[in-house]
Structure 1
Amino acid sequence: MQTHPVLPTVRPELTFLQPIPRHFVHRAAMAEVFVTDALQLEEDRFLVAAQWPRDHSLYHPDSLGFSDPLLIAETLRQASFYLAHHRYDIPLGHRFIGFGLSFEITDRSALHVGPIPLPVVLETEWHRGQGQRRLSEVRLDAALSIDGRPCGRGSLRLAAVDERRYRLLRRRGAHPGRDGAGQSTPTGERLPAQRVGRLRAKDSVLERSAEGGWRMRADLDHAILFDHPVDHMPVMAQLEGARQLGHLLTAGRTAGDRGRPLALTRLDLDCLAFAELDQPVDFAIREQQPSGTGVRLLLDLRQGETTVATVAMTWSAAGAEA
């Protein structure tokens, strides 16, 4: 009979006992903290440990039992914030501005959920001053392994600024309250959760616009996407909208002789502007074409005439065997 350790580790120096303090990763709820530890290897190189839950109300396993790929994006975000505060002494009051995020799953079978939470390790490298923007951009590159098995890679680009400079950049005061005054007014019907790959009605963030396109319908009271008050649409909320649209556009497509459903295996996000809460975010499909055993999608996220972000996704069934 196969046995499983209660607290698996890849290296004894890395522990999976409990999450780090939630303020280090800008989360209000302790249950949403996935990063657990970090170990410095060399200057600007770290191992970051995380633990993914066997189940989650939003980031739940798919119908084949594989972990939600957006857990990679959220773990990259948390790892970057934790290293910035804990290892590079960026004050906790600073604001982070995201420029881009990408990840690729190279061995999807490693993401299969078993009888214990998945032990995740990111082997990371911190790059400073790589951007050409006015703000000082940093980049965290990571190689992902689960239970010692290499299975992907990712990268996050961001900048940290103090509150004064952030308000100058935003040209506005404090964030709007949660009384609904800062939200855009829904214009259509929210899509049923099952059509966008979610389990709960409240987790669907897509609606059909009056013009027949696709639009974000995110609820500021959503306990995960809006874990704490914000003054713009968070990156993870934008990614959730893009992922749900990708699920909708690829639903019913299969690949391989087993007819496996397609899943998100690669994503590249480029943030171009702040997405405001009081304006609708529309999705424009720029590209939708076959790619290997799957489909490649290229989306623009727009507010009026402004493109606030672009998202490229690959949906495939490669490596789906458990």
Structure 2
Amino acid sequence: MPDITAVPCPPTSAAEGRKDIRKEYVHLGRSEMVLLTSWWQREDGEFSLTARWPAPAVGLGYDQRMLTQTVRQSGLTLAHAAYGAPLSDHTVLNYFDFTVAPGFEVPADAPCDLAVEVTVKNAKTRGSRVISLDMDFRIFRDGRMAARAESEFGWLSTRVYRRLRGEHFEVDWNGWPLPDPVEPRTVGRSAPVDVVLSAGDHPRHWQLRNDVDNAVLYDHPVDHVPGLALMEAAHQAANAALYPVQFEPTTVTSAFERYAEFDRPCWIEAEVLPATPGETSVLVTATQDGETVFRSRLGGPCG
């Protein structure tokens, strides 16, 4: 897991060194969903970015979706702006682990500014094309580290991706059945549109629901369930498995094993694992057609 021990936030760079964030770099259609505000390069493989998060829903210290979106947007921005990954390439998320400082909160009544420091640990290229970046992300609020993440992004050309995806390269966007959501409070959300789980046929078992009105997760048409939607499903499943006990995980590891398709049911299952006193650990697995597509382990204090 990424180490959250004290790491100083580097001093702010001169304003003239900053570059604006292009909406195209973060693969978003809605400008209001772009959380990053600027980026610049400190030295080879070392980058700084700034971000602004909206106030979280009432009752939340922070919104995990803002954290995962910030990491996603940071990785994509650096890939395109600093490493020349073509905008036409298709992104592959291999793994995504993060640790959050216990008790981390953002203001409940106003947007919050954060600093993001990124180290590219390993950049793989084929010829002049970048094919993967393994990155370490440190997110700071008021000079103190709030979260740390590690993730590897990969890229495939359209020709290779089309061959890989076959008949799933194109989908009937929003043409799939949308099952009813579970009660929002049971999964740590406040509105039905934010709920990604529908009741399954036995305890701690749900069907993934892909509601495209959820603008945080489904900004634009894509050919498979977004990785961040699966991570949100894991977060909600862990909360549902422990409800009514409140759970805000501080350590999360996630592995993406196969693509999750929109046109067939994807099942989410949670298992509460043994943990040290005062801590909780939940393993969440997503399966489709009997195959595992995603695994996530979430841990932290509970109660």
TM-score (norm 2): 0.86
- Asked if the contact 2:19/2:40 (under 8 Å) is kept, the reply is no
Kindly report the root-mean-square deviation, in angstroms, between the aligned alpha carbons of the 2 structures: 2.7
Q: Counterpart in 1 of 2:120?
A: 126
1:154 and 2:139 aligned: no
Distance 1:10 1:42, change over 3 A: closer
> In the alignment, which of 267, 270, 279 is matched to residue 255 of structure 2?
270
Amino acid at match of 1:125: T
Name the structure 2 match of 1:196.
187
The alpha-carbon distance between structure 1 residues 286 and 245, as it changes in their structure 2 partners (threshold 3 A), is: closer
In the other structure, the counterpart of 1:83 is 78
Alpha-carbon separation, structure 2, partners of 1:226 and 1:71: 14
Matched, 1:205 2:205: no
Structure 1 range deviating more: 283-292 or 145-154: 283-292
Gaps of 5+ in 1: 1-8, 55-59, 254-260
Show the counterpart of 1:6: none
Residues of 1 paired with 2:225 and 2:276: CA distance? Answer: 30
How far off is 1:292 after superposition? 4.6
Deviation (angstroms), 1:49? 1.2
Contact 2:97 2:253 in 1 (8 A): yes
Alignment of 1:248 onto 2:240: yes
- Output one character per residue of 1:82-131: Cα deviation in whole Å (capped at 9) or x when no partner: 0000011111111101111111012433x331654222112111133579
Residue 99 (structure 1) aligned with residue 94 (structure 2): yes
Equivalent residue, structure 1, for 2:38: 37
Structure 2 CA distance for partners of 1:18 and 1:158, relative to 1, 3 Å: closer
Name the % identity: 23
Shift of the alpha carbon at 1:142? 1.2
In 1, Cα distance between equivalents of 2:220 and 2:226: 10
Partner Cα distance (2:52, 2:269) in 1: 35
Q: Which segments of 5 or more consecutive residues in structure 2 lack a partner in the other structure?
A: 1-9
Distance 2:196 2:286 in 1: 14
Q: Deviations over 1:270-297 (max 9, x none)?
A: 0001111111111233443334523101
**What are the within-5 Å matches in structure 2 for residues 221-240 of structure 1?**
221-240=213-232
SS of alignment partner, residue 119 of structure 1? strand
Distance 1:191 1:68, change over 3 A: same
Structure-1-length-normalised TM-score: 0.81
- For 1:274 and 1:280, the matched residues in 2 are separated by 13
Whether the 8 Å CA contact 2:65–2:216 is kept in 1: the answer is: no
* Deviation by residue 1:132-170 (Cα, 9 ceiling, x = unmatched): xxx943211112211211222101212111111111111
The aligned length equals 288
SS at match of 2:254: strand
TM-fit CA distance, 1:232: 0.3
Shift of 1:62: 5.4
CA distance in 2, matches of 1:35, 1:81: 11
**Which letter maps to 1:228?**
H
Shift of 1:228: 0.4
CA drift of 1:41 comes to: 1.4
CA shift, 1:81, in A, is: 0.3
1:308 aligns with 2:303: no
* The one of 59, 65, 69 aligned to 1:74: 69
**SS at 1:80's partner residue?**
helix
**Secondary structure in 2 matching 1:233:** coil
2:135 to 137, 140, 157: 140
